[in-house]
Amino acid sequence: MSTHSQNAPSVTSLTIRAAKGKRKLTMLTAYDYSSATLVDECGIDMILVGDSLGMVMLGRDDTISVTMDEMIHHCRAVTRGAKQALVIADMPFMSYEPGVETAMKNAARLFQEGNARAVKLEGGHDVVPQIAALVKAGIPVVGHIGLTPQRVATLGGFKVQGKTADAALKLIEEAKALEAAGAFCIVLEAIPATIAKRITESVGVPTIGIGAGKDCDGQVLVFHDLLGLFDRFVPKFVKQYANLGEIASKAIGDYKAEVESGAFPGQEHGFAMPRNEEDKLEG
């Protein structure tokens, strides 16, 4: 179902920023042309080419090994399918942490080669210089705090963050620092709902929650999680709106059975030769 009108204006970082307090924002991941087309036509505001692709598309255990070349490859496919949604590319592990110069070089590649129109990077005060430099150079940036999967090794696993008063205060300060650096929105991942609400009230840019309660300015989910296409690891915060895995599995099983029994292909799936030409072969 397409909810976007042909002439609807493209979503930009400015549209997103201006939506705070006026309407809820939607973000969903996509990693290829077909899924991006689907997501875009449903009117989702932002498509995130997340480094979660390392897990749901490439079958790895975490996001750490995702490379710039992989991100660019998937980003190009997504941007061919997204006509109106704002396409945001995740900056992979170690593509921005070393410093401003590295971040600039890699964000420029995601823009120029991947055709992304914004980038997302994980971290708090430590990435403020990178965000400020990117924004100054004309690259819109989404921040990401709370559970930051690229730091899973130092966080001790995929764990809820901000559960002590000190940790919660630190998150609020980090969100303010990201806003001051120029981030146009901030993803809050796996933090208590009350803290996400406080953060949302403390900053002037939209917060986009994932496992952060209903009071964020918007929500984000992973495409495969929402559709029930990835069941190796389903976090508590995921709502499966469909079980496409089950539907696909039944369809593939039916196909196998019909090929094996000879029921597929039917006459209607094939091509006929004109009778007179066929007669020539016989004669």
Task: Please give the annotated binding residues for Mg(2+), written as ranges.
Answer: 51, 90, 122
DSSP state of 151: G
Scanning 48-56, 104-112, 133-141, 232-240 for contacts with ligand KIV by CB under 6 A, the matching segment is: 48-56
Scanning 43-51, 100-108, 151-159, 272-280 for contacts with ligand KIV by CB under 6 A, the matching segment is: 43-51
35-68 core/surface letters (b: 16 or more CB in 10 A; e: else): bbbbbbbebbbbbbbbbbbbbbbeeeebbbebeb
Angle at 218 between CA 2 and CA 14, to 5 degrees: 80
Query: How big is the chain by its Cα radius of gyration, in Å?
Result: 22
141-163 core/surface letters (b: 16 or more CB in 10 A; e: else): bbbbbbbbbbebeeeeeeebbbe
217 is a site residue for ligand KIV (CB under 6 A): no
Contact residue for ligand KIV among 220, 226, 227, 229 (CB under 6 A): 220
Contact residue for ligand KIV among 32, 40, 45, 90 (CB under 6 A): 90
Q: Please say which residue, 82 or 222, places its beta carbon nearer to ligand KIV.
A: 222
DSSP state of 273: P
Site string for ligand KIV, 197-216 (x = CB under 6 A): -------------x------
Q: HSE, CB side, 13 Å, CA atoms: give it for residue 253.
A: 6
Contact residue for ligand KIV among 32, 40, 45, 51 (CB under 6 A): 51
Contact residue for ligand KIV among 13, 50, 57, 174 (CB under 6 A): 50
Q: Please say which residue, 181 or 210, places its beta carbon nearer to ligand KIV.
A: 210
Q: Please say which residue, 50 or 206, places its beta carbon nearer to ligand KIV.
A: 50
176-200 core/surface letters (b: 16 or more CB in 10 A; e: else): bbbbebbbbbbbbbbbbeebbbbbb
Scanning 12-20, 49-57, 109-117, 247-255 for contacts with ligand KIV by CB under 6 A, the matching segment is: 49-57
> Is the dihedral angle over the CA atoms 33, 35, 37, 39 positive or is it negative?
negative
Catalytic site positions: 189
Report the nearest approach of ligand KIV to the CB of residue 7 (Å). 30
> Is the dihedral angle over the CA atoms 17, 22, 24, 30 positive or is it negative?
negative
130 is a site residue for ligand KIV (CB under 6 A): no
Restricting to residues 150-189, which ones interact with ligand KIV according to CB under 6 A?
Answer: 187, 189
SS3 121: strand
Of all residues in the shown chain, the one whose CB is closest to ligand KIV is 50
What residues make contact with ligand KIV under the rule CB under 6 A? 29, 48, 50-52, 90, 187, 189, 210, 220, 222
